[in-house]
């Protein structure tokens, strides 16, 4: 099977790594990719968000499957264009991807499907904002009602900050605060049925102890030893399947990954957000534990044949990833710093490239805020964590920073 992956981050490197390990995958391409991805796939300088360019590339390469990583190409209609051209695609249509792109659409779907989530109000002016802050009380949760790559949310006890964020965003969703540990569950969907991958947890704040600004994610681990044994079954039954059913009723059959961001509250799991793509960096650890070959699995989703595919298996043990971030990430990351030490990693650890580039002289340099994902694995979360931190200690990059408490209290 010839496969094309769209995207250029750590998540796409993890997807490419897993696809390259699938014996059914005979040829692997990625657009645009990055220097790490180029070690396992042929990369192509094509704009990921241009439906015409991506479709032309897929047709030229004669691929049997396109896997779309980030949300921007989904919202731009890349999956629609591919399917219209008869190319099997893992990724929802632009209309279905609104489950991520529009917080108010997601709330409507959840309400109609009876999915447990925070009570919420969509507000378009200062008066509505003030009333909603009053109604739900602190901590205040204020979300931009548009695509914000996981960065458009402010959770604060400071009313002035909540008001300022609402004003800056224009249209916002204000909601009740959900109290409980957060987790991410990815369901692979084929338009009819769905299968869950193993749950993971990520760490969104920039600094140790959950302090500092929100980021795309500074690390992650799987499995979650603290979660109830039936958590995944509960989430499938109460959240994923009703949501897919409601989307189907609206004429928006969902093909791709439905990412449920959940809080495990005293009343059970409740949805914080949906995403229409794999989570980053949770994917890096979940795919490390996935035993079922990824290419065949995603192809079954893209072709509506998941029901006949058979069970999805994960390997025993755990994986932890720690993000190496650039100086001044997330505010205004510095680029162009030289990365060294990648050739001397301990066993049971490896590096996925997130924001890297090759300089004309061949040096590997930073090219984004999140630069590398260092992944460690082992029989337990503690051992996987030790491997990941042993590995990151051997990597040097001027100005870099990482959290030292990823998966520390598990």
Among residues 36, 69, 279, 378, which is the contact residue for ligand GLY, using CB under 6 A? 279
Task: Please name the residue ranges forming H helices in 71-181.
Answer: 71-75, 78-84, 98-101, 103-113, 126-136, 159-169
Interaction between residue 280 and ligand GLY (CB under 6 A)? yes
- Residue 215 CB, nearest approach to ligand GLY (Å): 9
- Residue 379 CB, nearest approach to ligand AMP (Å): 29
- Residue 148 CB, nearest approach to ligand AMP (Å): 7
Interaction between residue 196 and ligand GLY (CB under 6 A)? no
Q: Which residues bind ligand AMP (CB under 6 A)?
A: 118, 141, 143, 150, 153, 155, 175-178, 182, 204, 261, 272-273
- Residue 245 CB, nearest approach to ligand AMP (Å): 23
Backbone angles phi and psi of 118, in degrees to 5: -70, 140
CA pair distance 151, 216, nearest whole angstrom: 7
Strands 65-68 and 2-7, sheet pairing: parallel
Tokens representing residue 243 in the block: 């949501």
Of ligand AMP, ligand GLY, none, which one sits near residue 217, judging by CB under 5 to 8 A according to partner kind? ligand GLY
Of ligand AMP, ligand GLY, none, which one sits near residue 175, judging by CB under 5 to 8 A according to partner kind? ligand AMP
Tokens representing residue 167 in the block: 């004003």
Whether 91 contacts 73, CB under 8 Å: yes
Please tell me the count of residues contacting ligand GLY according to CB under 6 A.
8
- Residue 93 CB, nearest approach to ligand GLY (Å): 20
Of ligand AMP, ligand GLY, none, which one sits near residue 202, judging by CB under 5 to 8 A according to partner kind? ligand GLY
C-alpha gyration radius of the chain: 20
Of ligand AMP, ligand GLY, none, which one sits near residue 272, judging by CB under 5 to 8 A according to partner kind? ligand AMP
- Residue 132 CB, nearest approach to ligand AMP (Å): 12
If one counts every other C-beta atom within 10 angstroms of the C-beta of residue 139, the result is 14
Closest to ligand AMP by CB, 153 vs 285, is 153
Backbone angles phi and psi of 324, in degrees to 5: -90, 115
Closest to ligand AMP by CB, 270 vs 353, is 270
The residues binding ligand GLY (CB under 6 A) are 150, 202, 216-217, 275, 279-280, 282
């Amino acid at each position: 099977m010839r496969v094309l992956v769209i995207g250029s981050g750590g998540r796409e490197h993890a997807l490419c790594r897993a696809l390259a390990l699938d014996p059914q995958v005979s040829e692997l391409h990625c657009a645009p990719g990055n220097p790490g991805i180029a070690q396992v796939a042929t990369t192509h300088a094509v704009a990921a968000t241009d439906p015409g360019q991506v479709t032309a590339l897929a047709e030229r390469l004669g691929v049997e499957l396109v896997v779309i990583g980030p949300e921007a190409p989904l919202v731009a209609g890349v999956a629609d264009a591919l399917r219209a051209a008869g190319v099997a695609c893992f990724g929802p249509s632009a209309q279905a991807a609104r489950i991520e792109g529009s917080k108010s659409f997601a709330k409507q779907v959840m309400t109609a499907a009876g999915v447990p989530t925070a009570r919420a109000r969509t507000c378009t002016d200062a008066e509505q904002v003030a009333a909603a802050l009053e109604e739900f009380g602190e901590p205040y949760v204020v979300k931009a009602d548009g695509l914000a790559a996981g960065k458009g949310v402010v959770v604060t006890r400071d009313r002035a900050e909540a008001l300022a964020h609402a004003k800056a965003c224009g249209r916002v969703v204000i909601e009740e605060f959900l109290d409980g540990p957060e987790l991410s569950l990815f369901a692979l969907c084929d338009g009819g049925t769905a299968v869950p991958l193993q749950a993971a947890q990520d760490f969104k704040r920039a600094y140790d102890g959950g302090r500092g600004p929100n980021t795309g994610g500074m690390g992650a681990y799987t499995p979650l030893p603290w979660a109830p044994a039936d958590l995944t079954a509960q989430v499938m039954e109460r959240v994923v399947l009703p949501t897919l059913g409601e989307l189907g009723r609206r004429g928006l059959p969902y093909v791709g990954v439905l990412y449920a961001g959940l809080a495990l509250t005293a009343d059970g799991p409740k949805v914080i957000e949906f995403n229409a793509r794999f989570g980053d960096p949770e994917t890096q650890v979940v795919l490390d534990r996935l035993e079922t070959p990824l290419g065949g699995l995603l192809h079954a989703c893209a072709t509506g044949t998941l029901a006949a595919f058979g069970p999805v298996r994960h390997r025993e043990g755990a994986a932890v990833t720690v993000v190496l971030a650039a100086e001044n990430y997330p505010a205004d990351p510095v680029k162009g710093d030289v990365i060294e030490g990648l050739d001397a990693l301990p066993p049971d650890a490896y590096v996925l490239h997130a924001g890297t580039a090759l300089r004309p002289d061949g040096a590997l340099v930073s090219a984004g805020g999140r630069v590398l994902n260092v992944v460690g694995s082992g029989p337990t979360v503690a051992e996987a964590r030790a491997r990941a931190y042993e590995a990151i200690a051997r990597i040097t990059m001027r100005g870099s920073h990482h959290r030292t408490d990823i998966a520390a209290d598990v």
